[in-house]
Structure 1
Amino acid sequence: MENTHSLETSGIVYRAIDHIALAVIDLEAAIRLFTSVLGFKLIGRRHIRGAKTGMHSAELEHGGLRFVLCQGTEPESQVSRLVSEYGPGVAHIALEVDDVAKTVGELGTRGMRFDTSVIEGPGLTQSFTARDANTGLSFEIIKRSGEHGFVDDNIQSLFDQLEKSNSY
């Protein structure tokens, strides 16, 4: 084992996986898979527009598990570029923490790069890491304070920041 430090002694405590976001080619087909085959409940849909591009998304839940399905609205959108570069699949994994800013700071000292600042909204604070070239993964660091779903202003801010930085 390379690293035998527990998360608690390393200064970061992850509480749970809040959700997993998936980049998909066909949102409606993905919704059918999750609802008709896997038995998840569709709890929400969104359409987000940036300055140049957009995305459609759907939130699904079952037994405390939550997935967010995302489809780009045009070939230049972040999600479409992600699918083009890495294929459909995991866009990011959201890790629940007690203090987003503190966790972002600690991860930053360890070399983690971030594509967004800390985004705060009513009941929800979040930040997104840059995509790791080796694993293809991006992580969302998230804290909920009474908000079960997602805050439209937070999602719009996230989309705008990622679009501005040309990240996906």
Structure 2
Amino acid sequence: MLKLDHIGVAVTDLAQAIEAYQSLGLSLAHREVVERDAVEVAFLPFEGGRFELLAPHDETSPVARFLAKRGPGIHHVALAVDHLQAVLAQLKALGLTLIDQEPRPGAEGSQVAFIHPSAMGGVLVELVEHPNKEALRD
């Protein structure tokens, strides 16, 4: 069974966005720079999931390109999976277009892979496998 992990939101000013989401009563749980993607992320949990705020760390970031083209807003929906490698093999066998053919490192020590929006009705879907799932659900 798939489970919502987070909703990714592209922002131009991470500190300002964190403050806005905190005004809803949410608390900042984790913040880090993901060097591979040139992005800084902040996670704010809510019942049933989390918001992942994404700000470009430099102009080479995919998030910087997203912001330049579309502006701030929902970037992706992430689903938590067990055994990401097996899920990717199943999706490949079904003929879905994948951005990532193999899992790659993500935030919080996770492994991630993205499904191309063309395969998901225009929505960028991230699949996430966490090394320690219980640590994320406090």
TM-score normalised by the chain length of structure 1: 0.65
Equivalent position of 2:53 in the other structure: 69
How many Å separate the matches in 1 of 2:35 and 2:131? 26
Q: Quick check: which one's helix share is greater? A: 2
Number of residue pairs aligned between Structure 1 and Structure 2: 133
1:48 positional shift:
2.8
Gaps of 5+ in 1: 1-12, 150-168
Equivalent position of 1:43 in the other structure: 29
Equivalent position of 1:29 in the other structure: 16
Change beyond 3 A, Cα 1:135–1:83: farther
How many Å separate the matches in 2 of 1:31 and 1:120? 24
Equivalent position of 2:130 in the other structure: 144
1:18 positional shift:
1.0
Change beyond 3 A, Cα 1:84–1:132: farther
Change beyond 3 A, Cα 1:132–1:28: farther
The percentage of aligned residue pairs carrying the same residue is 29
1:63 positional shift:
2.6
How many Å separate the matches in 1 of 2:128 and 2:7? 12
Q: Does 1:57 align with 2:41?
A: yes
Q: Does 1:118 align with 2:85?
A: no
Q: Which has the larger radius of gyration?
A: 1
Equivalent position of 1:128 in the other structure: 114
Contact kept, 8 Å, 1:45 with 1:57, in 2: the verdict is yes
1:120 positional shift:
6.7
Change beyond 3 A, Cα 1:24–1:142: same
1:124 positional shift:
4.0
Equivalent position of 2:6 in the other structure: 19
Gaps of 5+ in 2: none
Give runs of aligned pairs for residues 75-90 of structure 1, distance below 5 A: 75-90=59-74
